[in-house]
Amino acid sequence: MLHQHTTSTPPRLILGSSSVYRKELLSRLGLPFETMAPDIDETPHSGETPQATALRLAREKAAAIATRAGAALVIGSDQVATLDDLQIGKPGNHANALKQLQMMRGREVIFHTALCLWDGRRADAASTAQLCNVQTLVRFRDLDDAELDAYLRIEQPYDCAGSAKNEGLGIAILESIRSDDPTALTGLPLIALTSMLRQAGVRFFGTTPA
């Protein structure tokens, strides 16, 4: 078990992401935090599994921020969507998004949401960084091209892996979601994160973590 570093003063907490979705999720915990954008290459490595890609990038994001942040808790997260073991990235534009939704309709897609908590207060931060991957199984409705096109023009989810915002209108093109953490699909698994923060000594509700 990692040594808990509990203090009466809340540690500096940094979200290593520029994602508005992750920022909104973290704000639910009521903890003061900052955001910094990690500047890393997110290209998957040759032969790398989707889960390995997500875990590596979550750790690299946290590590990149930690080099600038000093004695702080840094959160890194990354999400990779997969279908038939092929990685599905952010579409970037309407045409690519439509192709993604056409490929995924009527099928189940696995979303790997990896999380890293890097404790910059520790001298051994690199070897004790907490890591996990939360899988979410998402089945897309078998909708025709006209509906998929209409959805994309309304919500324009071009910055989302899988081309659908489940926290918005995108929920209407999904048939089912199965996961141990309902927040994982949006990009930051809060159940896993609160466990990591407790392990790092962060207090919730004004009490000392058990």
Please choose, from the candidates 81, 83, 16, the residue with its C-alpha nearest in 3D space to the C-alpha of residue 54: 81
178: pLDDT strictly greater than 70: yes
Q: What region, left, alpha or beta, does residue 162 occupy, with left being phi > 0 and alpha being psi -120 to 50 degrees?
A: left
Q: Is 142 a catalytic residue?
A: no
| pLDDT-derived band at 7, boundaries 50, 70, 90 | very low
Buried b (16+ CB within 10 A) or exposed e, 126-151: eeebbbbbbbbebbbeebeeeebbeb
Provide, rounded to the nearest whole percent, the portion of the chain with pLDDT above 70. Answer: 94
74: pLDDT strictly greater than 70: yes
Catalytic residue among 39, 41, 78, 85: 78
Which segment of 67-76, 97-106, 201-210 scores lowest on mean pLDDT? 201-210
Mean pLDDT across 29-52: 91
Write down the pTM of the prediction.
0.88
